[in-house]
């Protein structure tokens, strides 16, 4: 689906949030430099975050809205990025869906009594109200208030497949055996599960928008585990259903990893911006996603090398984008916890500096003066 931004009023175009480089890039309007933000920009690589976490367990940090907002804003100030992402987690929504969630040290998230049979799907509650997640919306409100007025705030949720994989596997997985088996052997239960998740996710994202998010990202982090035929059959209609329900005028970033074989199908599901990882060249991905903006795609491990290399690799991605309107720089996946902070800051500076000094799209799509 093509989502239309031409309805933005002239007043909206003067709004510092709507005219920020990030929002302009989402709409494929030209910008004087390439905007950048980083997945997991608030996290353990940051000394301030680690010291906060010594006192506060992760789930508590998510649920204490003042702290979550503070962490959100802190990352932006420390890095100089062009957008904030609300500090939360993809799995918070499983609690109101009826599942017990725990973050164990070392093992990552655990979902107790996961879905294993078609009958288990009946345990997934309809999220008739998003009230149990009020602490997220409150964090969005507080972060929006505390952020500079030209820094957009991104809300997010997991996409139906990635969320389903956690509910079925009970945690992280390498081969997704339970997920794919349920998907293939009980079509009725699978589509029922995915439909319930899609309805819940759309409500959740729209409530984040209402609370003050300017854009939303759907993380389909593990969808690259599927081939294109399975993606189309079992996932595409449900992701599309989420995206179609998002409040009009709010850009949607549709992100996945390992999607080199799925890009056409993934883009058909929707999204104004398609997020890609480093397993594909950006200039080969872009023609395959249709008339959309693109986000990516530096390998997060590049940040462990020396600064000259970080700069060189960032420059190589900017070369591939050729200054075309609609590129948002990001990593291909989240910042790793051991990443040296100074390299993250240097990356942001390098992208700003290199992109502003090279030729840029002068913008055939630039709106005519009123």
DSSP-based three-state secondary structure for 17: coil
Q: Which of 53, 64, 138, 240 is catalytic?
A: 53
Q: Identify which of residues 87 and 231 has a Cβ nearer to ligand CP3 in the complex.
A: 87
Residue 108 binds ligand CP3, judged by CB under 6 A? yes
Residue 44 binds ligand CP3, judged by CB under 6 A? yes
Q: For residues 343 and 339, give the distance between their C-alpha atoms in angstroms, rounded to a whole number.
A: 8
Could you tell me the smallest distance in angstroms from the CB atom of residue 296 to ligand CP3?
13
Categorise residue 290: left if φ over 0, alpha if ψ from -120 to 50, beta otherwise: left
User: Within its chain, how far is the Cα of 137 from the centroid?
Assistant: 17
Residue 58 binds ligand CP3, judged by CB under 6 A? yes
Q: Which of 28, 45, 78, 89 is catalytic?
A: 89
Residue 27 binds ligand CP3, judged by CB under 6 A? no
**Cβ atoms of residues 324 and 303 within 8 Å:** no
Q: For residues 277 and 297, give the distance between their C-alpha atoms in angstroms, rounded to a whole number.
A: 5
Whether residue 144 lies in the annotated active site: no
Question: Which tokens hold the place of 34?
Answer: 């390439």
Closest residue to bound ligand CP3 by CB? 221
Q: For residues 167 and 304, give the distance between their C-alpha atoms in angstroms, rounded to a whole number.
A: 33
Whether residue 204 lies in the annotated active site: no
Could you tell me the smallest distance in angstroms from the CB atom of residue 53 to ligand CP3?
5
Residue 53 binds ligand CP3, judged by CB under 6 A? yes
Q: Identify which of residues 178 and 333 has a Cβ nearer to ligand CP3 in the complex.
A: 333
Q: Which of 33, 45, 49, 166 is catalytic?
A: 166
Whether residue 292 lies in the annotated active site: no
**Cβ atoms of residues 198 and 158 within 8 Å:** no
Of 1, 100, 172, 316, the one binding ligand CP3 (CB under 6 A) is 172
Residue 41 binds ligand CP3, judged by CB under 6 A? yes
Question: Which tokens hold the place of 140?
Answer: 């969005």
Q: For residues 264 and 198, give the distance between their C-alpha atoms in angstroms, rounded to a whole number.
A: 21
Residue 221 binds ligand CP3, judged by CB under 6 A? yes
Q: Which of 3, 15, 44, 103 is catalytic?
A: 44
Whether residue 89 lies in the annotated active site: yes
Residue 45 binds ligand CP3, judged by CB under 6 A? no
Q: For residues 176 and 173, give the distance between their C-alpha atoms in angstroms, rounded to a whole number.
A: 6
The stretch among 41-49, 115-123, 173-181, 243-251 that binds ligand CP3 (CB under 6 A) is 41-49
160-169 and 177-185 helices cross at what angle (nearest 10)?
Answer: 110
DSSP state of 364: T
Whether residue 103 lies in the annotated active site: no
Q: Which of 24, 28, 40, 203 is catalytic?
A: 40
**DSSP-derived secondary structure for 61-81:** HHH-HHHHHHHHHHHHHHHT-
Residue 43 binds ligand CP3, judged by CB under 6 A? yes
**Rg of the Cα atoms in the chain:** 20
Of 40, 199, 238, 360, the one binding ligand CP3 (CB under 6 A) is 40
Comparing CA positions, the residue from 187, 82, 92, 186 lying closest to residue 134 is 92
Of 334, 351, 354, 361, the one binding ligand CP3 (CB under 6 A) is 334
Q: For residues 352 and 243, give the distance between their C-alpha atoms in angstroms, rounded to a whole number.
A: 30
Size of the site for ligand CP3 (CB under 6 A): 21
Residue 91 binds ligand CP3, judged by CB under 6 A? yes
Q: For residues 266 and 66, give the distance between their C-alpha atoms in angstroms, rounded to a whole number.
A: 35
Residue 89 binds ligand CP3, judged by CB under 6 A? yes
Residue 85 binds ligand CP3, judged by CB under 6 A? yes
Positions touching ligand CP3 (CB under 6 A) are 39-44, 53, 58, 85, 87, 89-91, 108-109, 156, 172, 219, 221, 333-334
Residues belonging to the active site = 40, 44, 53, 89, 166
């Amino acid at each position: 689906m093509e989502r239309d931004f031409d309805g933005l009023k002239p007043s909206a175009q003067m709004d510092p949030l709507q005219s920020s480089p990030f929002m302009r890039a989402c709409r494929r309007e030209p910008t004087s430099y390439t905007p950048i933000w980083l997945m997991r920009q608030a996290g353990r690589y940051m000394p301030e975050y680690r010291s906060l976490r010594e006192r506060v367990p992760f789930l508590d940090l998510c649920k204490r809205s003042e702290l979550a907002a503070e962490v959100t804003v802190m990352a932006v100030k420390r890095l100089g990025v062009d957008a904030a992402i609300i500090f939360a987690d993809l799995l918070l929504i499983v609690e109101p869906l009826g599942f017990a969630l725990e973050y164990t040290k070392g093992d990552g998230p655990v979902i107790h009594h996961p879905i294993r049979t078609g009958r288990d799907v009946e345990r997934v509650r309809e999220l008739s109200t998003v009230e149990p997640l009020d602490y997220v919306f409150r964090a969005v409100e507080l972060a929006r208030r505390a952020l500079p007025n030209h820094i957009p705030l991104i809300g997010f949720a997991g996409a139906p497949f990635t969320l389903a994989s956690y509910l079925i596997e009970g945690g992280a997985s390498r081969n997704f055996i339970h997920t794919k088996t349920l998907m293939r052997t009980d079509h009725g239960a699978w589509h029922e599960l995915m439909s319930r998740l899609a309805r819940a996710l759309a409500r959740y994202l729209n409530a984040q928008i209402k609370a003050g998010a300017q854009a939303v990202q759907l993380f389909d982090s593990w969808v690259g585990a599927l081939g294109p035929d399975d993606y189309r059959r079992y996932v595409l209609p449900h992701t599309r259903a989420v995206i179609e329900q998002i409040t009009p005028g709010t850009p949607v970033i549709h992100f996945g990893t390992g999607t080199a074989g799925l890009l056409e199908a993934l883009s058909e599901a929707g999204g104004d911006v398609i997020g890609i990882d480093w397993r594909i060249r950006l200039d080969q991905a872009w023609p395959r996603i249709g008339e959309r903006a693109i986000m990516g795609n530096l390998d997060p491990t590049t940040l462990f090398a020396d600064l000259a290399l970080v700069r060189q690799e960032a420059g190589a991605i900017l070369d591939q984008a050729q200054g075309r309107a609609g590129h948002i720089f990001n990593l291909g996946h989240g910042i790793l916890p051991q990443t040296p902070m100074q390299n993250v800051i240097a990356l942001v500076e390098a992208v700003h500096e290199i992109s502003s000094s090279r030729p840029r799209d002068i913008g055939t799509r630039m709106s005519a003066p009123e």
